């Protein structure tokens, strides 16, 4: 295991945590945020578990989760570029309409200006199959990909494994340790995690134990 550049085995980690009086945060039961029981058209699974594309803006994955606050749920929609494992688009709202997904996707499009043919993968939920979301994909020449029926999104081998892993990290490392007074407080705190921690400083095993920001910088240097 590697944490912030320090390599350490699980037994050593366990011993140090015991000495410091620390306890691990347990994994909670996964609950789907979207409902796949609808009559809208479903796209084929074009991504087909190919989680390691050869270049940026080749395949993105989008998903939704929710965060508990004292004044109700806050829904979080995200768009993640699979190549650098970086969050490139996100949006929050107290409800989960298709507009929330579109806002997250528009943010990603605005920051990346991707070429036509980019794969955008998601689950089979109604908001992703909606006319509004599908029209946005078509307008930018994007290829819609959806999980196969019966795939478990929480599984390491499921078609949404990367997006679900981000949500698990967010909640175990950040959200479950905090009691939010309201949705605005949660929104600011989640944004801080995405921008300052996940994208810039958190190490990823899929990126040779680099953060997305450092991985991208090294990649750019290699092209010069």
Residue 23 lies in a domain: no
**Between 7 and 163, whose confidence is greater?**
163
Q: What is the CATH number of the domain that holds 155?
A: 3.30.420.10
* Nearest partner of 82 among 165, 12, 178, 2, judged by Cα: 165
Q: How far apart are CA 44 and CA 145, in angstroms?
A: 6
Contact 147, 158 (CB under 8 A): yes
Residue 184 contacts by C-beta under 8 Å, 6 or more apart in sequence?
A: none
pTM of the model: 0.76
pLDDT tens for 12-24 read 666 676 777 665 6
Q: How far apart are CA 94 and CA 184, in angstroms?
A: 10
Residue 24 lies in a domain: no
**Between 49 and 3, whose confidence is greater?**
49
Query: At 162, is the pLDDT very low, low, confident or very high (cuts 50, 70, 90)?
Result: confident
Residue 6 lies in a domain: no
pLDDT at 31 over 60: no
Domain range for 62: 32-222
pLDDT of residue 188: 96
pLDDT of residue 74: 95
Residue 22 lies in a domain: no
Give me the helices (H) in the chain, please: 10-20, 98-112, 126-129, 131-139, 161-173, 183-192, 212-222
Q: Which residues pair with 80 in a beta bridge?
A: 61, 87
Query: At 51, is the pLDDT very low, low, confident or very high (cuts 50, 70, 90)?
Result: confident
Q: How far apart are CA 77 and CA 161, in angstroms?
A: 15
What are phi and psi for residue 90, nearest 5 degrees?
Answer: -160, 160
Beta strands 59-69 and 119-122 are parallel
Contact 120, 142 (CB under 8 A): yes
pLDDT tens for 177-204 read 899 999 999 999 999 999 999 888 777 7
Residue 14 lies in a domain: no
pLDDT at 224 over 80: no
pLDDT of residue 151: 46
pLDDT tens for 205-218 read 766 667 676 666 66
Rounded to the nearest 10 degrees, the angle between the axes of helix 131-139 and helix 98-112 is 10
Residue 3 lies in a domain: no
pLDDT of residue 212: 72
Q: Where do the DSSP E strands lie in 35-166?
A: 59-69, 72-81, 86-93, 119-122, 143-146
Residue 49 lies in a domain: yes
Contact 93, 64 (CB under 8 A): no
Contact 176, 63 (CB under 8 A): no
pLDDT of residue 220: 57
Residue 183 contacts by C-beta under 8 Å, 6 or more apart in sequence?
A: 69, 71, 72, 74, 92, 94
Q: Structurally, how many domains does the chain consist of?
A: 1
Residue 1 lies in a domain: no
pLDDT tens for 122-158 read 998 889 999 999 999 999 999 999 987 654 443 333 4
The whole-chain average pLDDT of the chain stands at 81
Determine the average pLDDT of the residues in 62-71: 94
Query: At 91, is the pLDDT very low, low, confident or very high (cuts 50, 70, 90)?
Result: very high
């Amino acid at each position: 295991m590697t944490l912030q550049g320090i390599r350490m085995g699980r037994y050593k980690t366990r011993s140090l945590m015991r000495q410091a009086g620390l306890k691990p945060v347990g994994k909670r039961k996964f609950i789907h945020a979207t409902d796949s029981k609808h009559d809208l058209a479903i796209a084929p699974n074009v991504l087909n578990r190919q989680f390691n594309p050869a270049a940026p803006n080749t395949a993105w994955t989008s998903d939704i989760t929710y965060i508990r606050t004292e004044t109700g749920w806050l829904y979080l929609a995200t768009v993640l570029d699979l190549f650098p494992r970086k969050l490139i688009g996100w949006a929050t709202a107290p409800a989960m309409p298709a507009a929330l997904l579109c806002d997250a996707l528009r943010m990603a499009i605005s920051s990346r200006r991707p070429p036509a043919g980019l794969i955008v993968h998601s689950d089979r939920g109604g908001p992703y199959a909606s006319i509004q979301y599908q029209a946005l994909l078509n307008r930018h020449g994007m290829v819609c990909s959806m999980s196969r029926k019966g795939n478990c999104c929480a599984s390491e081998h499921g078609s949404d494994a990367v997006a679900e892993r981000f949500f698990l990290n967010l909640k175990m490392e950040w959200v479950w340790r905090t009691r939010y007074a309201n949705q605005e407080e949660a929104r600011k705190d989640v944004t801080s995690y995405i921008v300052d921690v996940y994208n810039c400083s958190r190490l990823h095993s899929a990126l040779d134990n680099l953060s997305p920001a450092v991985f991208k910088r090294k990649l750019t240097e290699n092209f010069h």
